[in-house]
Amino acid sequence: MAPTFKTYVVGGAVRDALMGLPVKDRDYVVVGATPEQMKATGFVPVGKDFPVFLHPSTHEEYALARTERKTAPGYAGFAFHAAPDVTLEQDLQRRDLTINAIAQDHDGTLIDPCGGQADIKNKLFRHVSPAFAEDPVRILRIARFAARFTKFTVAPETAVLMRNMVESGEVDALVQERVWQELARGLMESLPSRMFDVLHECGALKRLIPELDLLITTSSLNILSKLDAVAQSGASLPMRFSVITHHLSGEHLVDDVCSRLKLPNDVKELAVLAAREREAILRADAMPAIEIVKLLERCDALRKPERFLDLLRLNELIYQHRHSENKFHPMDVLHNSLKAAKSIDAGKIAALVSANHPQNPAQHIAAAVHEARVLAVQNQLDGMSANKKMDPMG
């Protein structure tokens, strides 16, 4: 690179290194260069809204130093200015939090005009400038960071600013896909309850997902502590989201929330199933075989067994959070019942039934397969009952 260029590592890589955390990706800011100069030295342009380039060898991202100006409501309403005369300090001033506004020179020298190192030491999320209020995504980012950096708290002046942003309606301009993107990342952190705490405290959760805000505020079910317990088990994203919708009143309300947030199908499907089948799963160990088979069929468990097992595991984790010493008996019953039902050769039954009912085989096939599954599950239940009688301590 030409000597007139200056490059600095910025943002999360510097922050995480100072906190003693693994550094996964490095972002760079380039001061004193034009797009033409970057391309002339082999960098590949990739940015659409502002000049970002990939290094010709490492493929790491290098962005030209820039400033930004608010032009419209919402997180996308910005005009960017990138030019050789934009300084490193000006670029750092446009960033969200002081802990993300630290740069490092190639010799290790830190450039910290906003006091980020002090805020790392004091474990504070503090906004860099009043321009923080221009981008509502920053509220979501702070909430997500709270779930990751679990000892940090929001600085009082930043908390006030966040509440003012909510009250002014800035949060209402957020695009639902972006809301979910940040929520999903926060849900996969080590203590996701803190994300919802931050969003609730500033009023953003009430504007974004009022159903969850009301549930968290009024419920005595310790939903957020359940979420953390499930997260600590290494649960998947669909399972983690389903914990917080698990006690919403009815599958239709859950479906409405999922549709509004435009959730991926795997997340939505498990959340709706968890809300709809909560009571049925809890009493499954007392169900007759025919009701168990109906449950399996409603859940499409025979075609999607992995999803059904996630549903069982979710209910088991929630149950054990409240009854740590007790075994979740429906797990064994439903797990073994699924194996029994899957052992039925539907193709073989279909061939036999078709030979006997050539005019209208479909209805007869469905009934015959269902009956065979019920019998298989009944045999499985009988076997489990016999084993229990032989080994009452088991």
- Return the bridge partners of 9, or none: 28, 104
Residue 67 lies in a domain: yes
Rg (CA), the chain: 27
Residue 370 lies in a domain: yes
pLDDT at site 394: 52
pLDDT at site 2: 44
CA dist 300 and 296 (Å) reads: 6
- The helix/strand/coil state of 109 is coil
Residue 356 lies in a domain: yes
Q: How confident is the model at residue 3 (pLDDT cuts 50, 70, 90)?
A: very low
Per-position b or e across 298-337, b if 16+ CB within 10 A of its CB: ebebbeebebbebbbbbbbbbbbbeeeeeebebbebbbbb
Domain boundary among 75, 98, 122: 122
Q: How many domains does the chain have?
A: 2
Global confidence as pTM: 0.87
- Return the bridge partners of 10, or none: 27, 103
pLDDT at site 229: 92
105 to 6, 112, 134, 290: CA distances (angstroms) = 8, 11, 29, 69
pLDDT at site 320: 87
pLDDT at site 355: 78
pLDDT at site 314: 94
Residue 8 lies in a domain: yes
Domain boundary among 78, 99, 122: 122
pLDDT at site 356: 76
Q: How confident is the model at residue 330 (pLDDT cuts 50, 70, 90)?
A: very high
67 to 72, 84, 241, 246: CA distances (angstroms) = 16, 11, 37, 44
Q: How confident is the model at residue 345 (pLDDT cuts 50, 70, 90)?
A: very high
Give the model confidence (pLDDT) of 183-230 as tens digits.
999 999 999 999 999 999 999 999 999 999 998 888 766 889 999 999
**Residue 377 pLDDT greater than 60, yes or no:** yes
Residue 234 lies in a domain: no
Percentage above 90 pLDDT, the chain: 76
Residue 104 lies in a domain: yes
Residue 97 lies in a domain: yes
Amino acid letter at 55?
H
Give the model confidence (pLDDT) of 291-319 as tens digits.
999 999 999 999 999 999 999 999 999 88
Domain boundary among 122, 142, 159: 122
256 to 249, 251, 252: CA distances (angstroms) = 12, 9, 6
CA dist 158 and 376 (Å) reads: 61
- Average pLDDT, stretch 359-385? 89
pLDDT at site 327: 86
Residue 182 lies in a domain: no
Q: How confident is the model at residue 64 (pLDDT cuts 50, 70, 90)?
A: very high
Find the CATH number of the domain harbouring 56: 3.30.460.10
pLDDT at site 389: 66
**Residue 74 pLDDT greater than 60, yes or no:** no
Kindly give, in sequence order, each residue whose CB lies less than 8 Å from that of residue 280, ignoring residues fewer than 6 positions away: 287, 295
Q: Which domain holds residue 361?
A: 281-394
